């Protein structure tokens, strides 16, 4: 089979890595890819959100399956154009992608289909935002409606600070993404990420995972796209898993059917589990998470290409599905200044030395005079696997200590307390 992956970050490197291991994979192509991906696939220049050019590339290469990594191509309708051209694709169409494209739409979907979530109001003016926030207690949760690369959620215990966030968003700090706001009641508990693979009829789950959004140790600093993740989450026991399946997974898939949405791909459910055991859905994503994917795919024990193909064909029930009884830890090495402004072009040392139980996925990198250099905020994902989280963690951090570039930083507490996870407010 000839396979095309859309995207060029750490998540897409992990996806390409998993696909390349399949005996079904004859040729692997990626649009646009990155230097790390170029070691296992042919990379092509172009815009993965331009449906017509993606279809042309797929037809020119006689592609058998397209796997979409990030949300932007899904939201722009690339999957729909590929399907109209008769090309199987792993990733929902534009209608399904609205679950991530609009938080207002997503919350209304949850309410309409009885999926537990925090009470919310949709605000399009400062007057409405002020009225809504003044009627709530801290923590105050303000979310930009549209796509914001993981930077559209603002949590504050101070009312004036929450109002400032609303004003900045409505004034255009995130462009059109912030012109509609979702203001929610705060929830306290433990977060967990659940990745649902579905063809609209059958569904399967990857291991549970937990990411670390804050930039600095101790969950301090600004929200980022994710500074690390681990899997599985040990406190999610079989009883809680069953509850998640009944209250979140099955109601979501039923809702999609009722709304007439043919969904083939990933539904990422970000959940909050209260101290009393209540499960609330924080948000949907319509693709694998980043940085969770880098931790999850090394724990998948089946053929990832076969699973994606069967899902795209509406035959997920025919795919072999198995998960390894191992643990993984992914820590992100970022550029100084991230998630704000940062410098690029610094040479990276220590990438190529292989170590047992360690995989390095490239995200924000580029080639300059034959040398791999930094080219983004989140530069690398260093993933360790092992029989325990401690073993996986030691391997990941051991490798990270050997990777050097100017301004490199990473959190030192990823997966530090998996058995006694931190309480969070969202």
Contacts of 361 (CB under 8 A, 6+ apart): 10, 13, 14, 17, 36, 294, 380, 381, 383
For residue 54, give the nearest of 25, 36, 30, 78 by alpha carbon: 78
Q: Which fold has domain 327-409?
A: 3.90.600
Beta strands, E only, 159-236: 181-184, 188-198, 203-205, 210-211, 214-216, 220-223, 228-231
Spans of all domains in the chain? 2-91, 120-184, 188-324, 327-409
**Other CB atoms within 10 Å distance of the CB of residue 77:** 16
Question: Tell me, what's the pLDDT at 352?
Answer: 83
Gap between the Cα atoms of 56 and 61, Å rounded: 9
CB distance 227 to 292 below 8 Å: no
Only one residue has tokens 């997503």, namely 106
CB distance 93 to 84 below 8 Å: no
Q: Which fold has domain 120-184?
A: Dna Ligase; domain 1 (3.30.1490)
Beta bridge partners of 317: none
Same fold, 2-91 and 120-184: no
Question: Tell me, what's the pLDDT at 149?
Answer: 72
**Structure-token pair, residue 243:** 């509850």
* Rounded-to-10 torsion of CA 69, 74, 76, 81: 100
Please give the chain's pLDDT, 426 residues, in tens: 999 999 999 999 999 999 999 999 999 999 999 999 999 999 999 999 999 999 999 999 999 999 999 999 999 999 999 999 999 999 999 999 999 999 999 999 999 999 999 999 999 999 999 999 999 989 899 999 998 876 788 988 999 999 999 999 999 999 999 999 999 998 889 999 999 999 999 999 999 999 999 999 999 998 898 999 999 999 999 999 999 999 999 999 999 999 999 999 999 999 999 999 999 999 999 999 999 999 999 999 999 999 999 999 999 999 999 999 999 999 999 999 999 999 999 999 999 878 999 999 999 999 999 999 999 999 999 999 999 999 999 999 999 999 999 999 999 999 998 865 555 555
Conformational region of residue 128, where left means phi above 0, alpha means psi within -120 to 50, and beta covers everything else = alpha
Gap between the Cα atoms of 19 and 5, Å rounded: 9
Long-range CB pairs of 302-308, under 8 A, 24+ apart, other chains included:
303/22, 303/23, 303/24, 304/15, 304/18, 304/19, 304/21, 304/22, 305/1, 305/3, 305/18, 305/19, 305/22, 305/24, 305/25, 305/65, 306/22, 306/24, 307/197, 307/204, 308/19, 308/65, 308/67, 308/90
Gap between the Cα atoms of 266 and 231, Å rounded: 17
Q: What distance lies between CA 298 and its chain's CA centroid? A: 16
What is the C-alpha end-to-end distance of the chain, expressed in Å?
Answer: 43
**Structure-token pair, residue 404:** 């050097």
Model pTM score:
0.94
Q: Is domain 188-324 annotated with CATH 3.30.470.20?
A: yes
Architecture of domain 2-91: 3-Layer(aba) Sandwich (3.40)
Beta bridge partners of 220: 216
């Amino acid at each position: 089979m000839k396979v095309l992956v859309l995207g060029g970050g750490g998540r897409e490197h992990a996806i390409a890595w998993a696909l390349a291991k399949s005996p079904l994979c004859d040729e692997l192509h990626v649009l646009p890819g990155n230097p790390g991906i170029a070691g296992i696939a042919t990379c092509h220049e172009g815009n993965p959100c331009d449906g017509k050019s993606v279809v042309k590339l797929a037809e020119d290469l006689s592609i058998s399956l397209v796997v979409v990594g990030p949300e932007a191509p899904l939201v722009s309708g690339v999957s729909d154009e590929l399907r109209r051209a008769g090309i199987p694709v792993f990733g929902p169409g534009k209608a399904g992608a609205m679950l991530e494209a609009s938080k207002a739409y997503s919350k209304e979907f949850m309410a309409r289909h009885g999926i537990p979530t925090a009470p919310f109001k949709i605000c399009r003016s400062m007057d409405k935002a002020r009225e809504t926030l003044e009627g709530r207690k801290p923590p105050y949760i303000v979310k930009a409606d549209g796509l914001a690369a993981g930077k559209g959620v603002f949590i504050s215990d101070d009312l004036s600070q929450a109002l400032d966030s609303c004003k900045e968003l409505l004034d255009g700090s995130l462009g059109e993404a912030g012109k509609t706001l979702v203001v929610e009641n705060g929830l306290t508990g433990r977060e967990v990420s659940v990745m649902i693979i579905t063809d609209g009829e059958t569904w399967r789950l990857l291991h549970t995972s937990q990411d670390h959004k804050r930039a600095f140790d101790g969950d301090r600093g600004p929200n980022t796209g994710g500074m690390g993740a681990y899997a599985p989450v040990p406190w999610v026991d079989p009883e809680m898993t069953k509850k998640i399946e009944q209250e979140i997974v099955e109601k979501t898939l039923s809702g999609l059917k009722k709304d007439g949405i043919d969904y083939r791909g990933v539904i990422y459910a970000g959940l909050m589990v209260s101290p009393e055991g209540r499960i609330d859905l924080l948000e949907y994503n319509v693709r694998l998470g980043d940085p969770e994917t880098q931790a999850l795919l090394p724990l998948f024990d089946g053929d990832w290409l076969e699973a994606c193909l069967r899902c795209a064909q509406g035959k997920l029930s025919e795919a072999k599905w198995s998960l390894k009884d191992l643990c993984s830890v992914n820590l992100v090495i970022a550029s100084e200044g991230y998630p704000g402004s940062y410098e690029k072009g610094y040479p990276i040392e220590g990438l190529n030395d292989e170590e047992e139980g360690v995989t390095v996925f490239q995200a924000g990198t580029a080639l300059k005079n034959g040398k791999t250099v930094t080219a983004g905020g989140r530069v690398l994902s260093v993933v360790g696997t092992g029989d325990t989280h401690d073993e996986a963690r030691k391997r990941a951090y051991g490798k990270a200590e050997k990777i050097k570039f100017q301004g490199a930083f990473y959190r030192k507490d990823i997966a530090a307390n998996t058995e006694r996870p931190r309480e969070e407010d969202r």
